[in-house]
Structure formats: structure tokens, C-alpha cells
Amino acid sequence: MNKKMKCNQFRHPIASAVVFGLFVAGSVLVPVRRAEGQYIGMTVVGRDEGVDGGVTFHTHNQRVVENGQGIFLTHGLQDRPQIRLQRSTDGGRTFATVYSQDISANAPALETDEDDNLYLTFPDPENRRTRFLKFTPGNYASPAVNKSTSVAYSDGKFTSFYDKSRGRIYHGTQYGWFLAFDKSGNLVKSKQVFTNGAQYPHLFVDENGVIHYAHTTVTGPVTYDTIRYLKSTDGGGIWKKMDGTVVSTPVSCDPGDSNSTLINPPDEVGVLSTWLGNMHVKNGKVHFAYNAKNPENGRQVRQHYMRFDATTGVREIDSYTDWNNRWGGASLHIYAVCTFFFSDPDDPDSPLFAAGGMGSPTAFKDVSRLVAVVRCDNGSTWQE
């Protein structure tokens, strides 16, 4: 999907297959991000030795990028503690390991820039401080920068995003921290934005330089009880609710707190277990995909595609209430915990795609067909 794609130029961008999470028929399905920072497509990566479910953990962050030197992927191994950086120079048909490290850590979040540098960030398992590795085009086999922060901490849940306009690599952590690095790995900003109830972070920088930061939280009577959002228009100094209300940080993740934008409908809070699969921002709209489950038996009972106005904070669409719990086209739909969006960052009029499992309200897991749906009207309608 590297070519610009208009709304009359696509048909079934991916085939149907058996899927659990993002693992398709023994391979890893991964979204691809360009240096500009937005998802542009996806590739299916054949299973490497020791690779199995969980080695990319999870749709809340990015572990595949494309630049002028190829497509790059980070992942871990199930059979031994090791992280790997792999490269494809044939459009994703084959991958070769260019760097590995024996360490018991989740696969690093991965970003690239306009100079084809690679940036890997992840928590050190020894002290939970954030590691920063930079690889340059002349030598992807060895990091040109290898640093560790002295502040903030995280466990296995983290994400990153490259801000081209400011020349910064942002890193969001479990427990709500926001870190900003320059390209040399120097920590230039650190702030706890959400309190320790924040668990799965999502970051996105839009075309206007606004930083969007969302978290799945754990503070209430059920696991993963709320999904919360804040934004920053000044590079991470001041944080605001989606409607522009300035807040003091860190904001509480308690279910009743009103100092961040609550994505969930009120009737879910404290009742259903919700987990944010992916967040994407395009043309002044913030898109969210998440699934809600019964915490007692694990059954999926609600599928949410939501669209918010990025300026007013008004929820404009919710597939659960507006489309009778159905998100998709006439024959294919998405009903899954693990879901992601992707689009062409070079074309503001390009379609927005979403991919995920085609489950049902009676399913216990995302074991079903893999489907993709697309919208060409800012999310108002979707089709396969």
C-alpha cells in the first residue's frame, strides 16, 4: 500500500485468515509506519525461530517502520530472552536479523526519521528505566547511541512516536509518564501525565504537531475499567482535555475523575472490562477502536469504533449505539480486542483503513477471520 490509494482503487486489501491478536496462520501481521509518523499499510512477516504469540505485544504501540533502506521490525522470542531488529529489502517478502540482544524485555517500540535513522525505546528489565538505542543507515548492526534514562520507569507496556516538526522521539510508559528525547538520546522532557493507574499507553502526533496521549487504566472494581485521553499543543509541557481545558498533571485515573477526557460511555465504567486497541488522528478527528468484555466470563459484548472531534471533544460516532454494535461493511465486520488503523500520511484525502478479527459477541477470544474495512468519508460509513 505504498502507492497513493483513492477510494475507487481498492478491493479487499487483506485476505481472510485465522487470526489470534495479530498472528495470522503462523505469521505476524504488523502495521507499517513511515518516517512521517502515520500508519500506511501492513505486512505479514513469516514466523522466525522461536517466534510465537505475544512477541510483538501489542496493538497499542509500533514495532514496524519503513524508510529508504527498507522495512524494519522488532520482536522478541518465546523460547529464550532476546530482542531482535530485522530488516527487509524486498518489500516485506523476507526479513533478516541485523541486530539482537540477549535481554528479558518486551520488543522495543520502533521509530524512524527522514534520514533513515532508527530509534528503539524500551524499559530495561533490571531497573525499569527507559533504554534509548539509535541506529544509523551506515550500520544497522550496532547502535550508534545506547543510553538509559535516570528518571521515570515502566514495565512491559510502552509506546513511542516520532515528531518530525520538533525533532523529538516521544515515549509513553505504563504509569502515565511522557518522555521526550532528542535524536542523540538526550532526555529533554519528562512528566508524569497520568497517575499510576495508567497501563497501556497510546501516542500520536498529528499534522499540526498536537500530541495525543491515551491510556487504558486499572483503578476501579474491574480490570481495565476506563480509557482516558489528554493532548498537548506545546510539545508536552501543558496538557489539556480534548476540548482544550488545561489540567494539572498528573491527572487521576480514578473512575469518577473528570480531569481527562473519558472515552468510555458512562454505563461501561466499573461494569465492563475495556481495552483500547488503537488510536489514530486524521483531518481533525480522533479515532478509537476498542472492545468491551464481561469481566466475569470474558465474553465480548460491545465493539466500539468511536470518532471524536479533536477540537471540541464531542463524540460524533459510536458503532455500538449508532450502528447496532456492528463496525464494517455488508458482509465483513470487525469485532476484536486487537485492532489497528492505518492511512497514507502524504495524502490527507486518502482512505483510513482498520484491520482486526471478525469475532462475535459470543466469542471468548479473537479467533476468527482477519478483515479490513475502510472509510472515505471521515468515518461516517465503512465498507470491506
Backbone angles phi, psi at 55, to 5 degrees: -75, -15
For 270: left if phi > 0, alpha if psi spans -120 to 50, otherwise beta; the answer is: left
Residue 285 CB neighbours (<10 A): 18
Instruction: Enter the C-alpha cell of residue 35.
Output: 518516517
Domains delineated in the chain: 26-336 (2.130.10.10)
Cβ proximity of 44 and 24 under 8 Å: yes
Give the pLDDT confidence score for residue 154 in this predicted structure.
Answer: 78
93-to-46, 53, 70, 89, 319 alpha-carbon distances in Å = 8, 20, 11, 8, 35
Question: How far apart are alpha carbons 98 and 139 in whole angstroms?
Answer: 9
Using alpha carbons, select from 285, 276, 376, 265 the residue that is nearest to residue 329: 376
Instruction: Give the tens place of pLDDT for each residue, 59-107.
Output: 667 788 889 999 999 988 877 889 999 999 988 888 899 999 998 888 8
Q: What is the CA radius of gyration of the chain?
A: 19
Residues 6+ apart with CB under 8 A from 220: 226, 254, 255, 269, 270
Give the pLDDT confidence score for residue 57 in this predicted structure.
Answer: 61
Each residue's pLDDT, cut to its tens digit, for the chain (384 residues) gives 333 444 433 333 332 222 222 333 334 444 445 544 444 344 444 444 544 445 556 666 778 888 999 999 998 887 788 999 999 998 888 889 999 999 888 889 999 999 999 999 999 888 889 999 999 998 999 999 999 998 777 778 899 999 999 999 999 998 999 999 999 999 999 999 999 899 999 999 999 999 999 999 998 778 888 999 999 999 999 999 999 999 999 999 998 899 999 999 999 998 999 989 999 999 999 999 998 988 888 787 899 999 999 999 999 999 999 999 888 888 888 888 878 888 877 788 888 888 888 877 665 454 557 777 887 776 788 887
Give the pLDDT confidence score for residue 173 in this predicted structure.
Answer: 93
Give the pLDDT confidence score for residue 361 in this predicted structure.
Answer: 65
Question: How far apart are alpha carbons 1 and 44 in whole angstroms?
Answer: 13
Residues 6+ apart with CB under 8 A from 345: 34, 36, 37, 38, 40
Question: How far apart are alpha carbons 288 and 286 in whole angstroms?
Answer: 7
Using alpha carbons, select from 149, 315, 179, 311 the residue that is nearest to residue 242: 311
Give the pLDDT confidence score for residue 54 in this predicted structure.
Answer: 53
Give the pLDDT confidence score for residue 310 in this predicted structure.
Answer: 98
User: Strand, helix or coil at 370?
Assistant: strand
pTM: 0.88
